[in-house]
């Protein structure tokens, strides 16, 4: 299992009488700190409170080692450090609750009626690796109340609410995850939620791939956000955020929506092949777009209206099926050093009391 098996005390849990214990809770109660608890295949109908530093390791196929809890958490973390690896967790409320400490949760399969994993409070800083969090009736993972943590190499899919919800100062690192086929948003960040999201695939969700609201301010880098049934990224109600080197494509609504005084920064992104606008800035939305490629969208590459007022620099806006940039209904903005070309309608279309500043742009080969 691990080299620690030879240096730490090990006890065995199994459904047979030949084991040291027949329940995991009993093994935890009697274990000294630093003990390794090996759990053999079986269905363990119990709720586990980890209140000392332990390694609790499934010894067999993940699908054969099941912890089921009713009306309680499968796992509640109540110590500074512990490892849990190799379990199927089924729960009628929250699967794993981490209000404190560093729980290392690896190679687990979680389905919960409410939320798969809740990370809450400034003392919570878990590491979640190679887990599947799926088909829950709530959020897949929620990070709130200044909780932190690292979530990497996970599959998060088919949940009724957000695959990942970050709010109230939550600030996780999310790396190399696949967040897909949710019945709501892929990731939602709101109420001063933060977070760094890198190298993730976010796709096929019913609502926005990423939803940023109410001063949410994540950093999103090198992600692919695609094939959503609504917007790729929706930023509203003073939402912020920095997006860099992302691919946003094939979404049913605009690739990026910016509204209601939101002010994100979008750099070095590719926004393409959307079924509506590439980017839509409306309802006094702001934003800075730099060094982006916006192409092949069904409507305008960039649409600005209703007091939208972005700054667009050094972008290439091309091969759109309608206008390159359309500004209407009191739309504003500064557009500098851009190449706008080969769009089916006008390179830039301005109407309805709109007013933009245009500097050093090249507009050509529009049809």
For the chain, state the CA radius of gyration: 24
Q: What is the dihedral of CA 283, 286, 292, 293, to 10 degrees?
A: 20
Give the per-residue pLDDT at 217: 99
- In a domain? residue 340: yes
Q: pLDDT digit string (tens) for 110-134?
A: 998 889 999 999 999 999 999 999 9
- In a domain? residue 298: yes
Q: pLDDT digit string (tens) for 131-158?
A: 999 999 999 999 999 999 999 999 999 9
- In a domain? residue 359: yes
Q: What is the dihedral of CA 205, 207, 213, 216, to 10 degrees?
A: 0
- In a domain? residue 347: yes
- In a domain? residue 11: no
- In a domain? residue 73: no
Under DSSP, is residue 25 helix (H, G, I), strand (E, B) or coil? helix
Indicate the pTM of the whole model: 0.96
Percent of the chain with pLDDT over 70: 98
Banded model confidence at residue 4, pLDDT cuts 50, 70, 90: low
Give the per-residue pLDDT at 72: 87
User: Between β-strands 127-129 and 348-350, what pairing exists: parallel, antiparallel or unpaired?
Assistant: unpaired
| Burial per residue of 41-71, b for 16 or more beta-carbon CB atoms within 10 angstroms, e otherwise | ebebeebbbbebbbbbbbbeebeebbbebee
Q: How much of the chain is in helix, strand and coil states, percent to nearest 5? A: 5, 45, 50
Quote the number of domains for the chain. Answer: 1
Give the per-residue pLDDT at 137: 94
Provide mean pLDDT across the span 188-211. 99
How many CB atoms sit inside 10 A of residue 238's CB? 16
Who has greater pLDDT, 86 or 4?
86
Q: pLDDT digit string (tens) for 30-72?
A: 999 999 999 999 999 999 999 999 999 999 999 999 999 988 8
Structural domain range at position 351: 231-367
- In a domain? residue 246: yes
Tell me: pLDDT of 2 over 80: no
- In a domain? residue 267: yes
């Amino acid at each position: 299992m691990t080299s620690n098996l030879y240096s730490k005390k090990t006890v065995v849990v199994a459904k047979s009488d030949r084991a040291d214990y027949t329940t995991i809770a009993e093994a935890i109660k009697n274990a000294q700190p630093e003990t390794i608890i090996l759990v053999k295949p079986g269905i363990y109908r119990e709720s586990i409170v980890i209140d000392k530093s332990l390694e609790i390791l499934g010894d067999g196929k993940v699908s054969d080692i099941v912890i089921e809890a009713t009306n309680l958490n499968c796992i509640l973390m109540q110590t500074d450090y512990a490892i849990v690896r190799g379990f199927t967790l089924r729960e009628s409320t929250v699967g794993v609750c981490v209000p404190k400490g560093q729980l290392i949760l690896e190679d687990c399969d979680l389905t919960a009626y409410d939320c798969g994993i809740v990370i809450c409070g400034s003392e919570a800083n878990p590491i979640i690796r190679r887990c599947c969090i799926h088909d829950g009736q709530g959020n897949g993972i929620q990070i709130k109340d200044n909780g932190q943590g690292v979530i990497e190499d996970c599959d998060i899919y088919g949940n009724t609410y957000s695959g990942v919800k970050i709010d109230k100062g939550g600030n996780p690192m999310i790396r190399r995850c696949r967040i897909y086929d949710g019945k709501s948003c892929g990731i939602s960040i709101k109420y001063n939620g933060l977070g760094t999201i890198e190298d993730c695939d976010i796709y096929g969700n019913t609502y926005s791939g990423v939803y940023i609201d109410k001063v949410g301010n994540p950093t999103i880098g090198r992600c692919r956000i695609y094939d959503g049934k609504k917007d790729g990224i929706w930023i509203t109600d003073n939402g912020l955020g920095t997006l860099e080197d992302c691919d946003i494509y094939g979404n049913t609504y605009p690739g990026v929506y910016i509204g209601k005084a939101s002010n994100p920064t979008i750099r070095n992104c590719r926004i393409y092949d959307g079924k509506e606008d590439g980017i839509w800035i409306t309802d006094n939305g702001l934003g800075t777009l730099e060094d982006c490629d916006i192409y092949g969208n069904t409507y305008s590459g960039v649409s600005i209206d209703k007091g939208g007022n972005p700054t667009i620099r050094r972008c290439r806006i091309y091969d759109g099926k309608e206008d390159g940039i359309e500004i209407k209904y009191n739309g504003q903005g500064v557009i500098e050093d851009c190449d706008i070309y080969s769009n089916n309608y006008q390179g830039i279309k301005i109407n309805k009391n709109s007013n933009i500043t245009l500097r050093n742009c090249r507009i050509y080969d529009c049809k």
